[in-house]
Structures are given as structure tokens and as C-alpha cells.
Amino acid sequence: MEKTQYSIFESELRVRPDDIDMFNHVHNSKYFDYVLAARYDQMADFYKMPMESFLSSGFGWVVRTALVDFKRPLILGDYIKVRTGILTINEKGCRVQFEIENKRTGKIASDGSVLNSKGNKKINLD
């Protein structure tokens, strides 16, 4: 992951049976599910602002752009480390980078970024 002034957080998840596709590896759509699940936990655990509080404050995560680079397959039962962190932030939103590591092999299975914004309007960050 790219080093920035912002922290990088890590969550651990496990590949479930309903994540698997007909080729016996994780379906591509599930990688974003892993990132979103990790971010949900990380908001409460590290930012000390559960998603429910974030939403009730009038904020929200709207994905405008999503990019994932698939490097190695994940299979049923794999434990994964999902690392995420803010790459850039401004008054219109932020770009969150991520990587998913196979805990068994220590190798990166995928990485990428998600651009979150709330419409295309400026956000008061105070």
C-alpha cells in the first residue's frame, strides 16, 4: 500500500462458502464486500465512530469509482487480512486504498482503491 500521512488499519476475515464461484475461488464481486466489511468494523474500532453515528451525522459513503487488481485467487476457508487507509481526502470526498492478503501465504491477493463521495458537492469537514 502507498504510504500516506493517514493511518492504515487491518481487519481479519475468513472466506465463506457463499463467496465461492463455479471455479472454486472467491467471486470477483466479493472482494469489495470484504473491503466494505473491514471499513465498517474499522470505523468503530479505530475511528471511534461507528457507521451508525457517521450516517446519523449526515455523512455517508457513496462509491463513485472502484478499482481492484486481482493478483492471486482466494479459496474456501482462507483467512485474509484486509488493510485499508485513506489515500487522499478533500472537501468532496476521499480515496480509500486497500489490499487483501492471504494470511496463510502472506501474499497479496488483490489491491486497489475506492473513491467515496457524497454527491459532487463540497462537504464541510469541521
| Tens-place pLDDT, residues 87-114 | 998 887 889 999 999 999 999 999 999 8
Least confident of 9-13, 84-88, 121-125: 121-125
Burial of 96 (0-12, 13-18, 19+ CB in 10 A): buried
Look at 119 and 36; give whichever has higher pLDDT. 36
Check whether 18 has a pLDDT greater than 90.
yes
The predicted model scores a pTM of 0.86
Q: What is the mean pLDDT of residues 18-27?
A: 97
Is residue 123 assigned to a domain? no
Number of domains in the chain: 1
6 vs 87: CA distance, rounded Å = 7
Radius of gyration of the chain measured on its C-alpha atoms: 15
User: Taking the alpha carbons of 8, 11, 14, 20 in that order, is the dihedral positive or negative?
Assistant: negative
Is residue 3 assigned to a domain? no
Model confidence pLDDT, tens digit, residues 44-91: 998 888 888 888 887 777 788 899 999 999 999 999 999 999 999 888
Is residue 104 assigned to a domain? yes
Which pLDDT does position 125 carry in this prediction? 47
Is residue 51 assigned to a domain? yes
Strands (E) across 8-107 are located at 8-14, 62-70, 79-90, 93-102
Is residue 2 assigned to a domain? no
Look at 115 and 103; give whichever has higher pLDDT. 103
35 vs 31: CA distance, rounded Å = 6
User: Taking the alpha carbons of 22, 13, 116, 67 in that order, is the dihedral positive or negative?
Assistant: negative
Domain span including residue 101? 8-117
Which pLDDT does position 119 carry in this prediction? 54
Residue with cell 486497489: 112
Task: State how far Cα 53 lies from the chain centre.
Answer: 19
Is residue 126 assigned to a domain? no
Is residue 37 assigned to a domain? yes
Is residue 122 assigned to a domain? no
Which of 67, 77, 74 is CA-nearest to residue 100? 74
Q: What is the CATH number of the domain that holds 28?
A: 3.10.129.10
Which pLDDT does position 118 carry in this prediction? 61
Band of the pLDDT at 117, cuts 50, 70, 90? low
